[in-house]
């Protein structure tokens, strides 16, 4: 006989220990870079997925890929803005089991210039989402957070107990959203907050990849300089690191997406609200990343060494033991894997 398991709000049916007949997963920001990779990974894992996105930063191409690859599991797209409560209520319906929340502005420099934009979207938008979830009795959320919640590192590798002292509005808005979610656990919504370090790479089959305008991430900017004759600007060569350039922890977007699938499983199994660092437990300098990009491309890329940028810490590396031990997550891709996939995407993307 089937066993009925009742969680905070949702009812799922277990037959021989397997979940069957579950409702769909709502992915906010699911047309964006990380959100679309996660939506694809969720459907590959057997989940039904619905996407909510304003398409301000997301792309129609990503939606087309999701619908084409999994026509039976892709349950539709709701265009809307998180700042509009009625928009998100149209998406958070009674057939949604859980939310995976990516929809946010994420550019550090822009957040410094226009903090209001970030607080309105990232904080008020999240409050609207949680309110809609409570009204629809949706009791689980996996949240796309960031290492920017930690601010300047006091020690490295950075674990989840590291002091939280964001140095820009972007990191502050993510930390505020985390704290709001912590409070919502008392009201029946459990959350897994995933703090990313540096994300890189693209879908191994070339279906999805990074597409920002403007592009601010290191690897795509190095690759964009390839074959154009344009110089790549390297900011800061006098840090106290092994070659004088900043050290960052690069996590492949496909490994990142897998972590969201595992975090959803963690919540389904009764896991309490918690936070997890997602990184590789190691780091690469900007010079090392540049060298890998040059090797993958197979040609020289003009390089211009520039002064440091304000606010760039010398080293940002994750301690990912908690994600390994609690979620059972294991990053599999190397930096070269990420660069090779990103280069394949750059050459063929629409």
**CA–CA separation, 272 and 141 (whole Å):** 11
pTM for the full predicted model: 0.91
pLDDT score of 8: 39
Token pair listed for 28: 């906010």
170 as an active site residue: the answer is: yes
Please provide residue 152's backbone torsions phi and psi, each rounded to the nearest 5 degrees.
-65, 130
Distances (CA, A) of 339 to 202, 209, 253, 290: 8, 11, 11, 10
What residues does 232 pair with on adjacent strands?
Answer: 303
CB atoms within 10 A of CB 169: 23
DSSP state of 192: E
* Distance separating the N- and C-terminal Cα atoms of the chain: 50
Q: What confidence score (pLDDT) does residue 68 get?
A: 98
Radius of gyration of the chain (CA): 20
pLDDT, tens digit, 9 for 90 and up, residues 177-216: 999 999 999 999 999 999 999 999 999 999 999 987 777 7
DSSP string, 233-259: EEE-S-SSSSSSS-EE-EEEHHHHHHH
Backbone region of residue 270 per phi and psi (left: phi > 0; alpha: psi in -120 to 50; beta: other values):
left
Question: Within a 10 A sphere around the Cβ of 244, how many other Cβ atoms?
Answer: 16
Per-residue pLDDT at 312 = 80
Q: How would you classify residue 206: left for phi > 0, otherwise alpha for psi between -120 and 50, otherwise beta? A: left
Contact 280, 332 (CB under 8 A): no
Segments of the chain scoring below 50 in pLDDT? 1-21
Helix (H, G, I), strand (E, B) or coil at 346: helix
* Span 32-64, pLDDT tens digits: 999 999 999 999 999 999 999 999 999 999 999
Runs of H (alpha helix) within the chain:
33-44, 60-69, 85-91, 108-113, 115-118, 125-136, 169-184, 218-225, 253-268, 286-297, 321-322, 335-348
- pLDDT score of 280: 96
Q: What pLDDT is stored for residue 309 in this prediction?
A: 79
Q: Any idea which residue has 């990503």 for tokens? A: 62
Catalytic residue among 170, 184, 196, 250: 170
- How far is the C-alpha of 139 from the C-alpha of 98, rounded, in Å? 7
**Nearest residue to 65 (alpha-carbon basis) of 89, 117, 30:** 30
């Amino acid at each position: 006989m089937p066993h009925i398991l009742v969680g905070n709000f949702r009812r799922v049916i277990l037959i021989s220990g397997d979940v069957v007949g579950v409702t769909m997963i709502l992915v906010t920001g699911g047309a964006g870079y990380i959100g679309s990779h996660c939506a694809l990974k969720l459907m590959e894992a057997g989940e039904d997925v619905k996407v909510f996105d304003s398409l301000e930063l997301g792309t129609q191409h990503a939606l087309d890929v999701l619908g084409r690859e999994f026509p039976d599991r892709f349950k539709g797209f709701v265009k809307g803005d998180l700042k509009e409560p009625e928009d998100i209520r149209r998406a958070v319906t009674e057939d949604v089991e859980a939310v995976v929340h990516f929809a946010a502005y994420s550019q550090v420099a822009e957040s410094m210039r226009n903090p209001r934009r970030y607080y309105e979207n990232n904080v008020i938008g999240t409050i609207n989402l949680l309110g809609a979830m409570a009204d629809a009795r949706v009791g689980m959320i996996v949240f796309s957070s960031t290492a920017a919640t930690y601010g300047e590192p006091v020690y490295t590798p950075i674990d989840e107990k590291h002091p939280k002292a964001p140095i820009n509005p972007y990191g502050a808005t993510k930390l505020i959203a985390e704290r709001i979610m912590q409070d919502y656990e008392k009201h029946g919504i459990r959350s897994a907050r995933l703090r990313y370090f540096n994300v890189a790479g693209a879908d191994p089959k070339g279906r999805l990849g990074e597409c920002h305008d403007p592009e601010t991430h290191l690897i795509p900017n190095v690759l964009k300089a390839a074959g154009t004759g344009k110089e790549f600007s390297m900011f800061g060569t006098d840090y106290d690191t092994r070659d004088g350039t900043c050290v960052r922890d690069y996590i492949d977007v496909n490994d990142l997406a897998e972590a969201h699938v595992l975090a959803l499983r963690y919540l389904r199994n009764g896991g309490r609200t918690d936070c997890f660092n997602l990184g590789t437990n190691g780091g690469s300098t900007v010079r090392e990343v540049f060298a890998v990009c040059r090797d993958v491309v197979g040609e020289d890329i003009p390089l211009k060494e520039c002064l440091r940028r304000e606010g760039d810490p010398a080293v940002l590396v994750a301690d990912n033991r908690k994600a390994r031990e609690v979620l059972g997550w294991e990053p599999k891709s190397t930096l070269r894997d990420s660069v090779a996939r990103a280069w394949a995407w750059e050459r063929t993307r629409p």
